[in-house]
Amino acid sequence: MTGYRLTPEQAESIRGKQFAPDSYFNPVPDINGDMFIFQSEYELAPRPEYDWFETLHETIFIAPENE
Amino acid sequence: MSRHLWLPIFMGAGKVAVFEPETSAYLITIGIPNDATVFYPATPQEITGAQIWTLVNNYVLALKAADIAGQGWTNQATATCLMLRDYPMIGGTASAHGYNVANPAASATYFGSWTHNELGAIGNGANTYAVDGIRQTNLSDKRELYHGHILVDGGSPAGGGMWVSGARIAGVVELSFVRLNTDVYGCPNTIIVSANRFIGSNEFTGDFSQRRNNVAGVNTFTYLNGTQVNSASSPTTTPTDINLDLYIGGLNQNNALVNPFLGTIRHHFIANGATLAQHNAWYAARVALQTGLNRMP
């Protein structure tokens, strides 16, 4: 699957913040430890507050190994 | 020249539908009008708002009919059997899908990139989980409940373990998995004891419950209304029946996301201490509701 990669600082700046009614950002690391958000978070994040999302690129996400 | 004025005369009063207060509270809150001319798009086949009102009201009545005096969801404060979570997932939005019919004060919120539509709440398998607002700290067993996983109560299996019931409807998963509460029951601080794992399009219909014994690493997964009966001895054991693979996302004891949810939830339901008869009756009510919404296979 694909997602939008964030810097660690970007990820922490949005973590737990609301992007839509009853919906909150949840950046997660990929297998390399890079932080990602995904389609709904990207699309529904209000603009212009999250205009900077336009600088993010859709990138392949590989999930970390599960337990 | 006289004028004749025809006046319509109504012979007899029309009947006025009466709805349960839970029905009205739910559907008014999520913005579905009781209108027979409005075909509501938040269902797989559009049905009218009036039809939704009737379906939900029948559902509420069925839940109450299965209640036992002194128990059940109508008496949250003192009930020995509590219907703690009942999210019919109607409405197509996170807010609508977070509405808890059993306890409107405890709604669910969603984290990550869920898709909310007429089918319910759809996870992405990467970062989706959900949380509700209740902490059962007022109960002696200190259950802590999340929309997604609950803590085991530590009771003996026969003496009142927590029943978590769910209905799996056409590619939809509805169930929680269990996390152990270490400080109360002295069990190892085990990370998620997943009920099952679901990936892909395996489907089955039916209700199943997960009950966890107060023994580290021992779990019993039992179908009550479904088509399979199976058990697994550890969370890492792959069930032999592929139809048992389903999971829902939650947090482990370190508040880290584990098993992010992948699948569609169309009805999330948790009841604590339900009798088998209640469980069966509530399951039948959920099936009737989802059938009326055209969301059953």
pLDDT tens track for B265-275: 666 666 555 55
* Residues of chain A found within 8 Å of residue B126, distances taken between Cβ atoms: 1, 3, 28, 36, 38, 61, 63
Question: Would you state the pLDDT for residue B275?
Answer: 57
DSSP state of A45: S
Which carries the bigger pLDDT value, residue B79 or residue A26? A26
Residues of A near B (Cβ–Cβ under 8 Å) read 1, 3, 16, 20-28, 36-42, 61, 63, 66-67
Question: Would you state the pLDDT for residue B37?
Answer: 85
Q: Which residue has the tokens 């509805």?
A: B174
Range scoring the smallest mean pLDDT among A17-21, A60-64, B252-256: B252-256
Question: Would you state the pLDDT for residue B127?
Answer: 83
Question: Would you state the pLDDT for residue B111?
Answer: 85
Kindly indicate the confidence band of residue A46, based on its pLDDT and cuts at 50, 70 and 90.
Answer: very high
Best residue of B113, B179, B238, B258 to probe chain A, by most A CBs closer than 10 Å: B113
Look at A25 and B124 and tell me if their CB atoms are within 8 Å.
Answer: no
Global pTM value: 0.67
Beta strand B120-122 pairing with B264-265 = antiparallel
Question: Would you state the pLDDT for residue A17?
Answer: 96
Question: Would you state the pLDDT for residue B155?
Answer: 25
Kindly indicate the confidence band of residue A15, based on its pLDDT and cuts at 50, 70 and 90.
Answer: very high
Strand-pairing partners, residue B206, are B168
Question: Would you state the pLDDT for residue B16?
Answer: 72
* Closest approach of B22 to chain A, Cα-based (Å): 21
Question: Would you state the pLDDT for residue B271?
Answer: 56
Best residue of A18, A19, A23, A25 to probe chain B, by most B CBs closer than 10 Å: A23
Look at A26 and B107 and tell me if their CB atoms are within 8 Å.
Answer: no
Question: Would you state the pLDDT for residue B198?
Answer: 27
- Report the 10 Å Cβ neighbour count for B95: 20
Q: State percent of chain A over pLDDT 70.
A: 96
Question: Would you state the pLDDT for residue B14?
Answer: 61
Interface TM-score (ipTM) > 0.85? yes
Regions of chain B where pLDDT drops below 50: 1-12, 69-71, 75-81, 133-254, 258-259
* Closest approach of B7 to chain A, Cα-based (Å): 50
Question: Would you state the pLDDT for residue B288?
Answer: 84
